[in-house]
Amino acid sequence: MFDGFRTALVTPVIVHWLASWGPSWRKLPVPAGPPAAHWDGPDPDRVLLFGSGIAMGYGMESHDLALAGQVAHQVSDITGRGVQVDVVAGESLTSDDILQHLTVRRLRELDAVVITPGSLEHMLLMPVSVWRHSIEEQLDHFAANAPASLRVVFVALPEVSRILPVPRLLGVIADRSAQRLNRELHRLCARRDYVEFVPFLPRERAGRAGTGRTYANWASFIAPAVASTLDEYQKVSAR
């Protein structure tokens, strides 16, 4: 009953507000260059950034300056190796897109996949059961098709009020929804030894000013986990 009410009334209202909101991040430019970022160094690790929201690079001219580039830089600083981060980003990406883009051949070319799941509209008030099915489908795909060496990092859904200036009521509703979904995501990731769940609690909001600094801040939550998983594999391979 509540799901029907949400679909019929609450979610459309929120989606309309996000689309018409004056300072919407959706009005910022996105990178026009190649969907990749690179940081020089020996024996480069190959990483794929897949998802929407923070992976889109809003406000930046290239992915080198956005989240992909900041992750590449910070991971390289930790590991001492080079990093190549390819980007597959879009606000409407779904589980089906993971199955389509991350084929067996593509997965064998990678050392790690970083996933920033779901656009804001799709995540708002999503039933946990629907979310669980989507995540399980993605994890099953990795289990069946990825080499044993591949590591997967799932970044938690951001609490909306932490990254956007939103009305208080919308922020409370959206944040509670994100918290519920993140608890389930954490639980599902903990059951797979090749997956790591990364909490994402940024201190700086997106916006027209300071966007580069914002991406550096956001990357600081993600890069240590990526570097750790890559280093752990390097140690295992060296034995």
Whole-number Å distance between alpha carbons of 47 and 36: 10
Encode pLDDT of 106-145 as tens digits.
999 999 999 998 666 556 668 889 899 999 999 999 999 9
Helix segments in 146-210, DSSP class H: 160-163, 168-190
Closest of 45, 37, 40 to residue 149, by C-alpha:
45
Predicted pLDDT of residue 238: 46
Residue type, 95: S
| b/e burial code for range 58-74 (CB count within 10 A of at least 16 → b) | bbbebbbbbbbbbbbbb
Structure tokens at 190: 């903990």
Encode pLDDT of 156-183 as tens digits.
998 877 777 667 777 788 888 889 999 9
Neighbour tally for 162: CB within 10 Å = 16
Predicted pLDDT of residue 66: 93
Domain boundaries, the chain: 2-238
Predicted pLDDT of residue 85: 98
Give the pTM: 0.88
CATH number of 2-238: 3.40.50.1110
Cα–Cα distance list, 220 to 43, 58, 78, 150 (Å): 22, 18, 11, 22
Encode pLDDT of 39-81 as tens digits.
999 999 999 999 988 898 988 889 999 999 999 999 999 999 9
Closest of 142, 125, 131 to residue 184, by C-alpha:
131
Q: Assess whether pLDDT exceeds 80 at residue 5.
A: no
Whole-number Å distance between alpha carbons of 218 and 228: 17
